[in-house]
């Protein structure tokens, strides 16, 4: 029965509410405004190292836009965009991993940007590299730079403990230093993975009526080793 409880403790979908901004509070606020059409810009470009939370924020922006009645579409990779997508009627287009766009995809995105601008719609793009070093055709790189440009700053290890504690407090449960240390030592250290682990632990704790302790964490890790 307890095994079933752990399996049911699925991780939450990416939301702004379960993203710890840390030093990225300005970025998160700008992104929420951009996704909901409150920024007078055609484009927004965010970049950061792998594991910084780019994909999480793109998911969150897509869902927030749709909740507000804004038509939005998200592409996990630029190669997914085809000619038909360029003239679709979406108000918000989101493209992840734009740094991996080949020549054909870059051409599609260039044309798409121009169409979106004419229609007063918006393009949100994410990259692992900064705009200045992005290996794309110059006219596309220039257009991406016309809008908002933000770097997602990764939390240093020394700040992750306090960030996790703040998230736990926000969810209404306590988190001991022993649990945090064990989690940091036995789980992927990017904040997305750590946040998902805490959310799942919280649900497992509620379902089993057990406090979040190192033994509970060990049991959960056996069911979700990744």
Over residues 113-147, the pLDDT tens digits come to: 999 999 999 999 999 999 999 999 999 999 999 99
Beta bridge partners of 73: 93
User: How many Cβ atoms sit within 10 Å of the Cβ of residue 70?
Assistant: 17
Q: Which residues pair with 10 in a beta bridge?
A: none
CA distances from 130 to 49, 70, 136, 150 (A): 10, 28, 12, 9
Residue 32 pLDDT greater than 90, yes or no: yes
- Statement: residue 178 has pLDDT above 50: yes
Residue 1 has pLDDT above 50, yes or no: no
User: How confident is the model at residue 186, as a pLDDT?
Assistant: 85
Greater confidence, 129 or 12? 129
The backbone torsions φ and ψ at residue 198, rounded to the nearest 5 degrees and listed phi first, read -65, -40
Beta carbons within 8 Å of 83's beta carbon, 6+ residues apart: 108
With a cut of 90, say whether residue 6 has pLDDT above it.
no
Does the pLDDT value for residue 59 go beyond 50? yes
Confidence of residue 185 (pLDDT cuts 50, 70, 90): confident
Which residues touch 41 (CB under 8 Å, ≥6 apart)? 34, 122, 146, 147, 148
Q: What pLDDT sits at residue 175?
A: 86
Cα–Cα distance, 48 to 51 (Å, whole number): 8
CATH of domain 22-151: 3.40.50.300
Residues 214 and 226: their CA atoms lie apart, in Å, by: 17
Give me the residue spans of the domains in the chain.
2-10+155-223, 22-151
Please give the Cα distance from 177 to 163 (Å, whole number): 12
Q: What percent of the chain has pLDDT over 70?
A: 93
| Dihedral sign (CA 212, 56, 127, 151) | negative
208 versus 226: the higher-pLDDT residue is 208
152: pLDDT strictly greater than 50:
yes
pLDDT, mean over the chain: 87
pLDDT at 11: 57
Of the ranges 18-27, 59-68, 84-93, the best mean pLDDT one: 59-68
**DSSP 8-state code for residue 80:** G
131-137 contacts at long range (C-beta below 8 A, 24 or more positions apart):
131/45, 131/47, 134/98, 134/99, 135/99, 136/98, 136/99, 136/101, 136/106, 137/103, 137/106, 137/107, 137/110
Give the H/E segment covering residue 157: helix 157-171
At 100, list the tokens.
């991996």
**For the segment 99-116, what is each residue's pLDDT rounded down to a tens digit?**
999 999 999 999 999 999
Tokens at 199, concatenated? 């959310």
Residue of 162 and 176 predicted with greater confidence: 176
In three-state secondary structure terms, 44 is strand
């Amino acid at each position: 029965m307890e095994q079933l409880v752990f399996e049911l403790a699925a991780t939450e979908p990416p939301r702004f509410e379960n993203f710890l901004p840390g030093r990225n509070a300005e970025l998160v606020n700008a992104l929420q405004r951009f996704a909901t059409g409150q920024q007078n810009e055609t484009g927004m470009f965010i970049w950061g190292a792998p594991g910084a939370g780019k994909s999480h924020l793109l998911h969150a922006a897509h869902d927030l836009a749709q909740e507000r009645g804004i038509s939005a579409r998200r592409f996990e990779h630029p190669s997914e965009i085809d000619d038909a997508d360029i003239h679709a009627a979406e108000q918000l287009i989101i493209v992840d991993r734009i740094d991996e766009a080949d020549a054909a995809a870059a051409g599609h995105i260039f044309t798409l940007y121009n169409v979106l601008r004419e229609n007063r719609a918006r393009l949100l793009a994410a990259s692992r590299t900064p705009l200045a070093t992005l290996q794309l055709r110059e006219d596309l790189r220039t257009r991406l730079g016309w809008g908002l440009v933000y770097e997602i700053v990764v939390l240093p290890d020394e700040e992750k403990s306090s960030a996790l504690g703040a998230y736990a407090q926000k969810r209404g449960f306590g988190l001991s230093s022993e649990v945090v240390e064990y989690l940091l030592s036995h789980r992927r250290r990017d904040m997305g993975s750590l946040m998902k682990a805490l959310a799942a632990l919280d649900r497992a704790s509620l379902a089993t009526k057990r406090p979040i302790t190192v033994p509970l964490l060990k049991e959960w890790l056996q069911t979700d080793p990744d």
